[in-house]
Amino acid sequence: MHPIQFSEVKNIYEYEKIRPDFRAKIIAEKKHRRFQIGEHMTIVFENRNSVLFQIQEMIRVEKIITDEGMQHEIDTYNLILPGKNELSATLLIDITEKHLIKPMLDSLIGLHRDSIYIVIDGREIPALFDESQIEDDRISAVQYIKWVLTDEDVRKFSDHSIVIQIAVKHKNYTASHTLTEDEQEALSADLIATN
């Protein structure tokens, strides 16, 4: 996907004018790109619009007004854009009870080692985790992951007769989600946009 350019990002004042409509558009787009994997994990697939939204929201929340600060956010979030034949996602480990946060995260150490897959017609493709987030003795509740697909994998996303799943196979957490036709179409559109 073509990286987001500085010229596409609005300053806080201009963003506030379009924010309600842009936010509504992103919420609608995420409907078929966000889903639960078991009780404690959510995956949100990213595309250009969702990444631009995250940049704009960070600039808004952090009250960033300098060109350098805005460019830093753009450079940071461009790293999660999917490339050719890639799917990119934010993995959220959902723990609402404060006393369970550390034990739950500790139990998921090693998640980055062949534990999360896209399964296309029975073929497992492991997720690649953001190297800058990987530590052997701890895990963050937010992870950025990507899958690199073949041309044939990309083609299969547009075929609704093929079953596609997201599966987690960790020793302390096993769950899966089978994509609906709408979810499959949304991700197929994102894959087409990367080419």
| 3-class DSSP state of 125 | strand
Q: Which residues contact 181 (CB under 8 A, 6 or more apart)?
A: 160
Q: Is the pLDDT at 137 greater than 80, yes or no?
A: no
3 state SS of 81 = coil
- Does 95 score more than 80 pLDDT? yes
Do the Cβ atoms of 4 and 55 come closer than 8 Å? yes
pLDDT digits (tens, 9 = 90+) for 158-174: 999 999 999 999 999 99
Lowest mean pLDDT among 19-23, 31-35, 95-99, 120-124: 95-99
Give the mean model confidence (pLDDT) for residues 146-151. 96
Residue 22: band (very low, low, confident or very high) from pLDDT cuts 50, 70, 90: very high
Single out the residue of 75, 60, 80, 51 nearest to residue 20, CA to CA.
60
Among 59-73, 100-114, 167-181, name the one with the lowest average pLDDT: 100-114
Q: What is the pLDDT of residue 17?
A: 97
Residue 195 has pLDDT above 80, yes or no: no
How confident is the model over 177-192, as pLDDT tens digits? 999 999 999 999 999 9
Q: Which helix (H) or strand (E) holds 173?
A: strand 173-178
- The band of 136, judged by pLDDT with boundaries at 50, 70 and 90, is confident
Are the C-beta atoms of residues 145 and 91 closer than 8 Å to each other? yes
